[in-house]
């Protein structure tokens, strides 16, 4: 929530991630990040890397995979902000979509992005008005907070607002 306050966002308003990188003076490039197929030809597969960040002295750089959905891009922006501004001894990272839960820096960056983009108090308040959290509620939250459906599901599970079984059903 500290990042929200310092940059003029109230707890209940969605963060506009592209505005945030401008406020923080982070140089950012949005481009499709492609990988190569085993036969060494350029592939249209863009689902391996979501973003990357580099910090050298006072200079902060970020690249975001523009081939991802906007919700995914916004999550990636705040995830990379964690690496650039809060991670100790940070110099560079390439963040795969399917990160290892054994990497504490990646886990911390994902939690930071979730809690920054979707403040727990606000999420709990939003879902309290429903008898049941279904796909329509998750879509509504996804649109309100400018994040992906999957990010909302993960966060709701992390906050113990949906069961593991419901989480798995929603993301499968």
pLDDT one-digit tens code per residue, 51-100: 999 999 999 999 999 988 999 999 999 999 999 999 999 999 887 776 66
What is the per-residue pLDDT across 15-29, written as a single tens digit (0 to 9) for each?
999 999 999 999 999
The whole model's pTM is what?
0.89
* Residue 84 CB contacts under 8 Å (≥ 6 apart), including other chains: 26, 53, 55, 60, 62, 90
When pLDDT is cut at 50, 70 and 90, the band that residue 170 belongs to is very high
Cα within 13 Å of Cα(57), Cβ side:
1
In which residue are the tokens 């391996």 written? 48
Average pLDDT estimate for 28-45:
71
pLDDT, residue 149, reads: 95
- Look at residue 53 and give its three-state secondary structure: strand
What the block records as the tokens of 108 is 């911390």
- Is pLDDT above 90 for 154? yes
Predicted confidence band at 35 (pLDDT cuts at 50, 70, 90)? low
Query: Which residues of the chain form beta strands (DSSP E)?
Result: 27-31, 49-56, 59-65, 92-96
42 — pLDDT class (breaks 50, 70, 90): low
């Amino acid at each position: 929530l500290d990042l929200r306050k310092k940059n003029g966002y109230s707890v209940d308003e969605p963060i506009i991630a592209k505005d945030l990188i401008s406020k923080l003076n982070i140089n950012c490039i949005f481009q499709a990040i492609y990988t190569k197929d085993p036969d060494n030809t350029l592939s249209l597969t863009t689902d391996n890397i979501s973003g990357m960040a580099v910090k050298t002295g006072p200079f902060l750089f970020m690249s975001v995979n523009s081939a991802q959905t906007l919700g995914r891009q916004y999550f990636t922006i705040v995830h990379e902000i964690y690496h650039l501004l809060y991670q100790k001894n940070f110099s560079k990272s390439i963040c795969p979509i399917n990160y290892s839960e054994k990497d504490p820096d990646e886990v911390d960056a994902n939690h930071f992005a979730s809690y920054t983009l979707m403040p727990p108090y606000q999420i709990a308040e939003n879902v309290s008005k429903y008898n049941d959290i279904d796909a329509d509620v998750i879509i509504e939250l996804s649109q309100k907070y400018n994040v992906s459906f999957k990010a909302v599901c993960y966060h709701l599970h992390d906050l113990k607002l949906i069961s593991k079984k419901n989480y798995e059903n929603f993301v499968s």
